[in-house]
Chain A
Amino acid sequence: ILNVEQSPQSLHVQEGDSTNFTCSFPSSNFYALHWYRWETAKSPEALFVMTLNGDEKKKGRISATLNTKEGYSYLYIKGSQPEDSATYLCVGASGNTPLVFGKGTRLSVIA
């Protein structure tokens, strides 16, 4: 069974600061990893789907890396803005089993 852990659980940063958080998962049976951003009262929105060891993906000020051998992914936000405030979900996919969600990292960016 895939188990996805995210840290920290919550994070407060000042506007303009860069930040990062972690998703860890068992390296065996790994298939793919997703990052979603979930703003309050909105739909979770897909940020990245990552499958290959060493993958690095970028969307604007947000980027992510993947290390499947050691079982972790980092999400980076450069120059945080108040609109980045959201819960960031990491989701693991392992073969034919249902997707497994982490508990999320709740980011608050203070203006």
Chain B
Amino acid sequence: SAVISQKPSRDICQRGTSLTIQCQVDSQVTMMFWYRQQPGQSLTLIATANQGSEATYESGFVIDKFPISRPNLTFSTLTVSNMSPEDSSIYLCSAGGGNTGELFFGEGSRLTVL
């Protein structure tokens, strides 16, 4: 199992600003992921954070909007850049997985963009 700490837990941001969310895992993990849940929608994978290389983004998500860092096997950050109200969501960090493996999640970061 893995315990994941995520911060901030919530924030209210102004349009046009950027916010960085941090994710710390209590053990080394190969796979780390960033998800988003917009109001009324499913959890959607933004990208896979790769240690030592650029993140792998899913369709509809780009590095300029959601830059990701993964400096080591226990830590990752997601930045939401140039925010607009449409970016108001819960952002979740997770680790583990594989094709059938269990995912462990942080407690989420609830962003409200005014």
Contacts and interface: CB of A to CB of B under 8 A. Distances in A.
A98 B99 contact: no
B42 A49 contact: no
Interface string B68-102: 00000000000000000000000010000101111
| Chain A contact patch, size range | 20 to 34
Interface of B: 4, 9, 35, 40-45, 48, 58, 92, 97, 99-108
Contacts, number: 50
A31 B107 CA distance: 27
Main secondary structure, interface of B, reads loop
Contact of A89 (B43, B99, B102, B108): B43
Interface of A: 4, 31-32, 34, 36, 41-44, 46, 49, 51, 89, 91, 93, 95-96, 98-104
Contacts of B108: 41, 43
B99 A32 contact: yes
Which of B45, B97, B103 gathers most chain A CB within 10 Å?
B103
